[in-house]
Amino acid sequence: MNKLSKCTLMVVIILLQLKGFAQNATTLITNVQIINGTGAKAFKGAVRIKNDRIVEVGNLKANASDHVVNGHGYVLAPGFIDAHSHHLGDLQKNINGLSTANQGISTIVIGQDGGSYPMDSLAADMKLKPVVANVASYVGHSSLREEVMGEKNLFRNATQSEIDKMKVILQSELNKGALGLSTGLEYEQAFYSNRDEVLQLAKVAANANTRYISHIRSEDVTMADALDEIIQIGKITKMPVQISHIKLAKKSDWGTADKMIRQLEQARTQGVQITADVYPYTFWNSTLRVLFPARDYTNLASAQLAVTQLFDPTASYIVQYAPNTAYVGKTLAEIASIRKQSNAQCLISLVAIAADFKEKNPGYKGSIEAIAAKSMEEKDVSKFIAWENAVICSDGNGGGHPRGYGSFTRVLGKYVRDEKLIPLEKAIYKMTGQTANYLGIKDRGIIEIGKKADLVLFDPNTVMDHAVIGNSHALSDGISMLWVNGQVVYKNKKATGNRPGELIKR
Ligand SMILES: [Zn+2]
C-alpha cells in the first residue's frame, strides 16, 4: 500500500468513526422552562434528543455522549405549526427559510384557500428542493376545478360529471396522505361553485375521515350566509370544519366578535365540530378584486361601498402591482391623489389596469396585484385569538404583508406578554398541540418521549415581531434556537443551512 492510499484509508476510518459517533450522539437541552404543548403549566427541566426524536424529558443530568445546549432559563416549546400557510414557494426560493424559522415555525400547513399541489409532485419537490420546515397539505377545491374544468372555464357551476371527476382525484389525493379538503370560495376560481358541488366533495373528505377547511364565501357583506354554509357542511358530514383566518372585515360589523363566537359555540353544542384559525393583524392581504363582493368591478356604487365599509384607503397599502411597480408601498388614497381620482374611481381603475395587464401577459408568473387592506378592529382580532377553538396561523408567505415573518412572535410578544390576553401555556397550545390535534398529526406538537424533535427555544421576556409593511422581512427578537426533526435550522437570528423538512402525511 503506498503512502497516498494509506492516508486515504485513515481518512475513511476517521470518517466512519465520526459517523458512528454522530449516530450515538444525543443533544441535551438543559436549564429550560418546558411548555409541552398540551396547555399544561411550564416546568423546569431538560430534554434529550437523539437523531430526529425526543428520547427523554425531565430532570436530566448530562452524560458523556451528550452535546449540551444551555437553554439559559428560556422556554422550550414544541416547534410551532402554522395552521394556514402559503410559505412553501418562499422556502424553496430563499432556502435559509428565515420567514418561518425567525418566528419559531417548524411545520407549515399548505394547500389552503382552494389551491394545492398534487401530493406526488409535493413529495418529489421535498426531495429535489428540501426546505427548513415540515410540510402538510390539504387538497384544494379550486385546483380540482382547474384540473377538471380548465383554467378559463371556472366561472360557472360544475356539471355532475365534472364533480364526479373531481371526487375521484380528491379521493386519490387523500389516499396519498393529504389532510382534507380546502376551499377558497371567495375567489373567482371557486366563487361560482354552488353549495351542492362543495358538499358533494366535502362528503368524500368526510368518508375518508379527514376534514374541511375554508376561506368562506364572504368575510364581509354576505358573511352570515357564508357561515351558514360551513356550519351546514359540518352538520351534514359530521367531520371537523375550520374557518380559515377568521375575521370581521366589514366596518358596520366591527365589535361583534362575541356575537359571532356565540353563533359558532351554538353550532358546537349541536354537534358541529367547528373551529377557526386566526392571524394577529388588523389588515389582510389579497387581491383588489375581493373588494367587489358582487364581482362587479366597474360598478361605482360597489367601489364606494368598498372604500367606506370594506377597507380603509388611507391605511391600506398596495403590496404588488405588476402594471406599475411605483404604486407598491403606497396607500390606495395616495395613488388616488396621484391619479387625481376619488378613492372609489381609483379602485376601479387599478382593477381594470391589472385585468388588462393579465390579458396581455398570459405567461406572467406571480401575483399581478395585491393589497394589504386595513379592514378589521383590534378588539375583534383579540377575541378571535382568545377563542378556545381557534388556533394560530400566519396566512403568510415571503411577501409584503408582515404576517409572513412576524405572526407567531407577535402573538407571544404583543398579545401574551404585553396585553396579557391569554396565558403563555395556552398560546403555545394554540400554536402546537391543539393544531396537531385538529390535523390528526400524532407525532408532533407535544414535547413527549417518542415524538419528533421539533423544538423552539425562546426568551419570553424579549420575544417580539418586527416585520411591518415596508420592512416586512425584519426578523423577530427572542427566538434563540429552532430544531426541526432534531436538526438545528436557526440560531440567534441566523440560518444554519440545514433543511430537514419532511412531508407529513395523514
Ligand atoms: Zn384565505
Joined together, the cell numbers standing for residue 94 give 430563499
Ligand 1 centroid, distance to 156 Cα (angstroms): 21
Ligand 1 centroid, distance to 417 Cα (angstroms): 28
What residues have CB less than 8 Å from 70, skipping those under 6 apart?
30, 31
User: Is residue 235 scored above 90 in pLDDT?
Assistant: yes
What residues have CB less than 8 Å from 144, skipping those under 6 apart?
166, 169, 170, 201
Please report how many Cα atoms fall inside a 13 Å half-sphere around the Cα of residue 125, on the Cβ side.
16
Pairing of strands 274-278, 241-243: parallel
Q: Is residue 420 one of the residues assigned to a domain?
A: no
Ligand 1 centroid, distance to 399 Cα (angstroms): 15
Domain that holds residue 287: 283-375
Within 10 angstroms of residue 72's Cβ, the number of other Cβ atoms is 11
Ligand 1 centroid, distance to 288 Cα (angstroms): 14
Distances (CA, A) of 439 to 176, 392, 434, 445: 15, 13, 9, 11
pLDDT in tens, 108-134: 999 999 999 999 999 999 999 999 999
Bridge-partner residues for 77, per DSSP? 456
Ligand 1 centroid, distance to 124 Cα (angstroms): 26
Give the integer Cα–Cα distance in Å for 30 and 63.
12
Ligand 1 centroid, distance to 245 Cα (angstroms): 7
Q: Is residue 195 one of the residues assigned to a domain?
A: no
Q: Is residue 351 one of the residues assigned to a domain?
A: yes
Q: pTM value? A: 0.92
User: Is residue 22 scored above 80 in pLDDT?
Assistant: no
Ligand 1 centroid, distance to 215 Cα (angstroms): 5
Ligand 1 centroid, distance to 99 Cα (angstroms): 19
Ligand 1 centroid, distance to 31 Cα (angstroms): 40
User: Is residue 348 scored above 90 in pLDDT?
Assistant: yes
Burial class (CB in 10 A: 0-12, 13-18, 19+), 167: middle
Ligand 1 centroid, distance to 252 Cα (angstroms): 21
pLDDT in tens, 245-267: 999 999 999 999 999 999 999 99
Number of domains in the chain: 1
Ligand 1 centroid, distance to 113 Cα (angstroms): 5
Ligand 1 centroid, distance to 244 Cα (angstroms): 6
Give the integer Cα–Cα distance in Å for 502 and 325.
36
Joined together, the cell numbers standing for residue 476 give 423577530
Q: Is residue 365 one of the residues assigned to a domain?
A: yes
Pairing of strands 105-110, 134-137: parallel
Q: Is residue 260 one of the residues assigned to a domain?
A: no
pLDDT in tens, 39-96: 999 999 999 999 999 999 999 999 999 999 999 999 999 999 999 999 999 999 999 9
Written as one string, the DSSP assignment of 282-309 is SEEEE-GGGG-TT--TT-HHHHHHIIII
Give the pLDDT confidence score for residue 10 in this predicted structure: 57
Ligand 1 centroid, distance to 58 Cα (angstroms): 40
Ligand 1 centroid, distance to 246 Cα (angstroms): 9
Q: Are 68 and 61 in contact (CB under 8 A)?
A: no
Ligand 1 centroid, distance to 491 Cα (angstroms): 31
Ligand 1 centroid, distance to 303 Cα (angstroms): 21
Ligand 1 centroid, distance to 241 Cα (angstroms): 15
What residues have CB less than 8 Å from 368, skipping those under 6 apart?
320, 321, 322, 323, 354, 357, 358, 361
Give the pLDDT confidence score for residue 8 in this predicted structure: 58
Ligand 1 centroid, distance to 142 Cα (angstroms): 12
Confidence of residue 399 (pLDDT cuts 50, 70, 90): confident
Ligand 1 centroid, distance to 267 Cα (angstroms): 22
Q: Is residue 265 one of the residues assigned to a domain?
A: no
Q: Is residue 350 one of the residues assigned to a domain?
A: yes
Ligand 1 centroid, distance to 328 Cα (angstroms): 21
Q: Is residue 401 one of the residues assigned to a domain?
A: no
